[in-house]
Amino acid sequence: MDKFTIIDSYLGQNEVPIRTEKELRDQLQSVLKTGTNQIITLHSAESGDLTLGIGKPYGFVEYMDNTQKHPFLIATDHSVERAAEYYEFDSGGTATPIPAGNCIMMDRVFDIAIYFFTHSKIPKDVNWEEE
HSE, side-chain direction, 13 A CA sphere, residue 68: 6
What confidence tier does 119 reach under pLDDT thresholds 50, 70, 90?
A: very high
pLDDT for residue 43 is more than 60: yes
Tell me if 114 sits within 8 A of 21, measured CB to CB: yes
Q: Is the peptide bond before 57 cis (omega within 30 degrees of 0)?
A: yes
pLDDT for residue 11 is more than 70: no
Q: Tell me the pLDDT of the chain averaged across its residues.
A: 91
- At 49 the pLDDT is 96
Work out the average pLDDT over 106-121. 97
Tell me if 9 sits within 8 A of 41, measured CB to CB: yes
- At 128 the pLDDT is 96
What b/e sequence results for 52-77 when a residue is b if at least 16 CB atoms lie within 10 Å of its CB, and e otherwise? bbbbeebbbbbbbeeeeeeebbbbbe
pLDDT tens-digit profile of 27-42?
Answer: 999 999 999 999 999 9
Angle of the 106-119 helix axis to the 21-33 helix axis, nearest 10: 150
Residue boundaries of the structural domains of the chain:
4-130
pTM: 0.92
The size of the chain, in residues, is: 131
